[in-house]
Structure 1
Amino acid sequence: MDILDIMRASPVMPVIVVDKVEQAVPLAQALVAGGIRVLEVTLRTPAALDAIRAMVEAVPDAIVGAGTVTHPAELEAAVNAGVRFVVSPGLTDSLVAAGKASPVPLLPGVMTPSDVMRARDAGFRRLKLFPAQQAGGIGMLKALGGPFADVMFCPTGGISLETAPDFLALPNVACVGGSWLTPKALLDKQDWAAITGLARQAAALGQPQ
């Protein structure tokens, strides 16, 4: 799958922080059961790479990626863990080179028109707008749609179930990122049924009204 196929596979890409490896498989199963297959596991905890490995092995229906990838060594570690894609909050020269050499697609982060131009110059036209709300949210995405009609975005940062539909209605938005699907309180309680319910709500955002 290329990165646009992955972005379009679920209307919401959950931004997942896993503190305990044992949470990984039931969490992935709960999200997939609710209709959310694309899972971005952030490399923000010591458990992240082991969590990715566990999800990849035990939940084949999930499209597991790594988020918060900020330098080539993290990208390489994520690929070795079995990810299908990689997400970065920004883009550097070294990450451009690593992304081009990677066997899995990179979704780099941008915040400004200059960021978008630099990413396009490097060959990336599928981008993460981050942090979306601070970057201008829907107004910014509408403004970027004029000069950059060939770019598709996954806005992430400050988006909720209530605001996601307005983002998804934009022609240059393929999906949104959101942390509301996997709140820490539900993970700590191991309330997988509640997470499946949140996933169902999110998956329904991609259905015709």
Structure 2
Amino acid sequence: MDIIYRLKTLRLVPVVALPTVESGLRLAELLLDCRLAVMEVTYRTECAGEALEQICSRFPELVVIAGTVVSPEQADQAVSAGVEGIVSPGFTARLATHCQARSIAFFPGVCTPSEVQAAREEGLQNLKIFPAAQFGGIKMIELFGALYPDVLLMPTGGINQDNLVDYLNCANVLCCGGTWLSPQKMLAKGDWGEIEQRIKRAVDLLDRQA
């Protein structure tokens, strides 16, 4: 199934910085149990590469995305692990070309019209707007929708339980990325009860908006 279709259907992508591989495996299982079958594992911790490989291997039904990818080498590692998509905090034509050559979905980060246009010139129409809240939030997203109606956005940064629906109601939003569901400190402490409740509240909110 096409990753763009699946992301549009799922609407929310948990963005995580894993303290350990084991925490990633447990979180993957929890997300599936809660019917949110997607995870973006960021290259912000040393275990990210191994975690991606093990999560992709053990949970093939989960949409696994590599996040904070800033180099072709990281992209290659993520592709070898089996991810379905690659997210970068910024845009470079070099990384875009590298990912396209490997036929992997690439979502570069943008926050200005110039960056959106540069990405479009490379044939990219599904972009991450980051950090969304700090760069105009919903007003900026709506402006991009008027300027670039062919572009779909994945807002990340400042998204939470209280404003998620407002972002999802924007016609040009593909899905939202959220770090509030399982913050790194909460994962490190093993606060699985709170993490589960956050995921369930988010899924319930999505169900009510369906």
Shorter-chain TM-score bucket reads over 0.9
Quick check: 1:21 aligned with 2:21? yes
1:44 aligned partner: 44
Which amino acid counterpart does residue 65 of structure 1 have in structure 2?
I
Q: Secondary structure at the match of 1:109?
A: strand
Q: Secondary structure at the match of 2:86?
A: strand
What is the deviation of 1:3?
4.1
The separation in 1 between residues aligned to 2:5 and 2:109, in whole angstroms, is 18
2:170 aligned partner: 170
What is the deviation of 1:37?
1.1
The separation in 1 between residues aligned to 2:2 and 2:76, in whole angstroms, is 18
Q: Compared with structure 1, are the counterparts of its residues 14 and 197 closer, same or farther at alpha carbon in structure 2 (3 Å cutoff)?
A: same
The separation in 1 between residues aligned to 2:6 and 2:77, in whole angstroms, is 20
1:112 aligned partner: 112
Provide the aligned C-alpha RMSD in A: 1.5
The separation in 1 between residues aligned to 2:188 and 2:71, in whole angstroms, is 30
1:84 aligned partner: 84
Q: Does the Cα contact within 8 Å between 1:157 and 1:177 map onto a contact in 2?
A: yes
Unmatched 5+ residue regions in structure 2?
none
What is the deviation of 1:68?
0.2
The separation in 2 between residues aligned to 1:137 and 1:37, in whole angstroms, is 26
What is the deviation of 1:195?
2.2
Q: Deviations over 1:1-30 (max 9, x none)?
A: 444224214221111101111212111111
2:63 aligned partner: 63
Q: Compared with structure 1, are the counterparts of its residues 13 and 109 closer, same or farther at alpha carbon in structure 2 (3 Å cutoff)?
A: same
Q: Does the Cα contact within 8 Å between 2:19 and 2:188 map onto a contact in 1?
A: no
Which amino acid counterpart does residue 177 of structure 1 have in structure 2?
G
1:201 aligned partner: 201
What is the deviation of 1:147?
1.4
Which amino acid counterpart does residue 82 of structure 2 have in structure 1?
G
TM-score w.r.t. length of structure 1: 0.94
The separation in 2 between residues aligned to 1:147 and 1:168, in whole angstroms, is 19
Runs of at least 4 residues off by over 6 Å: none
TM-score w.r.t. length of structure 2: 0.93
Q: Compared with structure 1, are the counterparts of its residues 151 and 57 closer, same or farther at alpha carbon in structure 2 (3 Å cutoff)?
A: same
Which amino acid counterpart does residue 42 of structure 1 have in structure 2?
T
Taking the TM superposition and a 5 Å limit, the aligned residue runs for 1:174-185 are: 174-185=174-185
Q: Deviations over 1:64-105 (max 9, x none)?
A: 110001111110011111111110111112112112112321
Q: Deviations over 1:148-194 (max 9, x none)?
A: 11111110001111011110111011211110111234312323343
Q: Does the Cα contact within 8 Å between 2:19 and 2:187 map onto a contact in 1?
A: no
Q: Does the Cα contact within 8 Å between 1:14 and 1:177 map onto a contact in 2?
A: yes
Tell me the matched-pair count. 209
The separation in 2 between residues aligned to 1:58 and 1:192, in whole angstroms, is 20
The separation in 1 between residues aligned to 2:204 and 2:175, in whole angstroms, is 13
The separation in 2 between residues aligned to 1:127 and 1:207, in whole angstroms, is 25
Higher RCO (C-alpha 8 Å, min separation 6): 1
Q: Compared with structure 1, are the counterparts of its residues 169 and 8 closer, same or farther at alpha carbon in structure 2 (3 Å cutoff)?
A: same
Which amino acid counterpart does residue 48 of structure 2 have in structure 1?
A
Q: Does the Cα contact within 8 Å between 1:3 and 1:126 map onto a contact in 2?
A: no
